[in-house]
Amino acid sequence: MKRIILCLVLVISVIGFSEEIQLERKYNKNSTWSICISSDSTAKKDCSVIFKGNPYKEFKVFKNEDGHNGMYIKYREMIIVDSKEGDLQLIETKTKPMPKKTRPAEIDENLASAITVSVSSEDSELKGLLPPEALSHLKVYGKNVYYIRMAFINHTVSSEITENE
């Protein structure tokens, strides 16, 4: 019996100290949220990614593991990152939900063979990274890109090019 209790305590402590960061309980509601880059109060926040739903149930939040600062959010097959590797935060917003009239994104043939596809913008430090097989979930409406229940305002779809290439 003592071994079973000791084993349970060990398993619970390992789960509790994993790299995944639990979102606060205040986010446990089905609303519209902006994903923003954390910054001091004087700087303008980049909140160009909008999510409609319950992030507490659908997001996984991780610290960068490669020695850099910052964190990233995983939503289904997509990872949301700050290109400058800063922390992200969720802010409840009154932004309109996604439009009902979207169309499949026009995908460049070269993207199907890319290792990673990026949803990014010149004006935004926030971007989404996803594998090419998830391209079928991308939709566009005007200058915005939509991925399931997430909107990237003024973003486009392209191949992710690393600095080493």
Strands (E), 67-123: 71-75, 78-82, 88-92, 103-104, 117-120
- pLDDT band per the 50, 70, 90 thresholds, residue 134: confident
Higher pLDDT, 83 or 102: 83
Winning range, highest mean pLDDT, from 97-101, 141-145, 158-162: 141-145
pTM reported for the whole predicted model: 0.75
**pLDDT value of position 69:** 66
**pLDDT value of position 17:** 46
What phi and psi values does residue 73 have, to the nearest 5 degrees? -115, 130
Instruction: Please compute the mean of the pLDDT values over residues 48-67 and round it to a whole number.
Output: 85
Query: Does residue 50 contact residue 62 with C-beta atoms inside 8 Å?
Result: no
Instruction: Please compute the mean of the pLDDT values over residues 33-57 and round it to a whole number.
Output: 84
**pLDDT value of position 25:** 58
